[in-house]
Amino acid sequence: ELNYIHWKLQAGKCGLCSSVKACLSACGMACQGLQKGETLASLKRECDNLKKKLEEERGKLNDVELHQVAEKTEVLGALSVKTRRVLKGHGNKVLCMDWCKDRRRLVSSSQDGKVIVWDAFTLNKEHGITLPCTWVMACAYAPSGCAVACGGLDNKCSVVPLSLDKTENLAAKKKSVAMHTNYVSGCTFTNSDMQLLTCSGDGTCALWDVESGQLLQSFHGHTADVLSLDLAPSETGNTFVSGGCDKKANVWDMRSGQNIQSFESHESDINCVKYYPSGDAFASASDDATCRFYDLRADREVAVYQKDSIIFGASTVDFSLSGRLLFAGYNDYTINAWDVLKGTRVSVLFGHENRISRVRVSPDGTALCSASWDNTLRIWA
């Protein structure tokens, strides 16, 4: 716990420094460009007024809630989901995991500085990679299944090619692709092994070329640490969503680098964002103990998943394959399954002995994997 708090403070301190510098620099430029009678205070007031007008216009279109539309939809029966596998091998908190497209293998990263590739059927550890720093906060499987990406407090994101030879030293083949000015909090490959998308505590997201390590596009718009990102689920997915400590979820166009939509309804840090399977909506999990559902076509929040008895923050979310269920991991060691349409809680999964850091549904939708600070991963089905 203290390690985590210390890291948060360190990250916050660095982020604050860079934010202050950026702010001073922006203020300097802004002051030079001020017209007669304008002050920074008056421009800020004008900006706030415009924001209010936008919210009012959005409110006018708020004709009906999602649960009202879904009133006649059949109620879901009880879920009979149980722990089928427990993956043990990490020596410290498991911070991230990702499924391979083959629906069988998965990769996990931990505070112990190790990245492990598992066979989820047999529980065998196929590869183990030791990184030079602890707190490996992000990991991702390449679409081909031939490589994994990982990064964390070293401010880098590296790609490691996987070999059939189990005795080979994979750490020696590790290639640094992305370089941020603060910790790497998330990473994902685009629809090929050749491009990597990262988000960081420096407040930016970035698109990188894996082969050359060249920065292809950077995405500026968050005013604090970016904690999560997710790529739109289509073959030609040119958009992604990010969420962070500024309580904002931003949708980005990867081609232009522009922030095309922004949602700000959470009351605390957004820890995770995840696209709906159709790509028309996304969900977010926050320290304010709620998960929220945003429709991109309606340009607004359409559902909130919360209960008075839930007082701990939500750290991670993922949808079932059909999109009817939303699985959310919380800091009270539980995973809640929500009915996306009706907004009701369907089930609570118990088993972990510390906070949940990640939940991911397998590509074929038959299993759910959870990673936790209790040093284990669990597979539910």
192-205 pLDDT, tens digit per residue, is 999 999 999 999 99
The answer to the question of residue 172 being in a domain is: yes
Region 326-350: what's the mean pLDDT? 96
Is residue 5 pLDDT above 80, yes or no? no
**Where do we find the tokens 């289509």?**
234
Determine the pLDDT at residue 61: 75
Q: Indicate if the alpha-carbon torsion angle 70, 73, 77, 82 is positive or negative.
A: negative
Please tell me the distance from the alpha carbon of residue 148 to that of residue 106, in angstroms, as a whole number: 10
Determine the pLDDT at residue 31: 52
Tell me the pLDDT tens digit for each residue of 105-139: 999 999 999 999 999 999 999 999 999 888 999 99
Is residue 39 pLDDT above 80, yes or no? yes
Our count of domains for the chain comes to: 1
Region 206-229: what's the mean pLDDT? 97
Q: Which domain holds residue 194?
A: 82-380
Determine the pLDDT at residue 157: 96
Output the six-digit token pair for 220: 């500026």
Determine the pLDDT at residue 326: 98
The answer to the question of residue 47 being in a domain is: no
Q: What CATH number has the domain bearing residue 323? A: 2.130.10.10
The answer to the question of residue 153 being in a domain is: yes
Determine the pLDDT at residue 48: 87
Determine the pLDDT at residue 169: 74
Determine the pLDDT at residue 21: 40
Residue 5 is inside which H or E element, if any? helix 2-32
Is residue 12 pLDDT above 50, yes or no? no
Poorest-confidence range of 25-29, 128-132, 304-308, 319-323?
25-29
Is residue 18 pLDDT above 50, yes or no? no
Region 358-379: what's the mean pLDDT? 98
Determine the pLDDT at residue 44: 86
Is residue 99 pLDDT above 80, yes or no? yes
Determine the pLDDT at residue 32: 59
Please tell me the distance from the alpha carbon of residue 28 to that of residue 33, in angstroms, as a whole number: 9
Output the six-digit token pair for 374: 């209790």
The answer to the question of residue 48 being in a domain is: no
Is residue 168 pLDDT above 80, yes or no? no
Determine the pLDDT at residue 33: 65
Res. 236 pLDDT band, cuts 50 70 90? low
Res. 291 pLDDT band, cuts 50 70 90? very high
Region 16-33: what's the mean pLDDT? 45
Res. 30 pLDDT band, cuts 50 70 90? very low
Strand partners, 380: 83, 368
Question: How is 326-379 classified by DSSP, letter by letter?
Answer: EEEEETTS-EEEEETTT--EEEEE---SS-EEEEEE-TTSS-EEEEETTSEEEE
Region 325-331: what's the mean pLDDT? 98
The answer to the question of residue 16 being in a domain is: no
Of 143, 92, 82, nearest to 116 by C-alpha is 92
Give the pTM.
0.86
Poorest-confidence range of 42-51, 160-169, 192-201, 237-246?
160-169
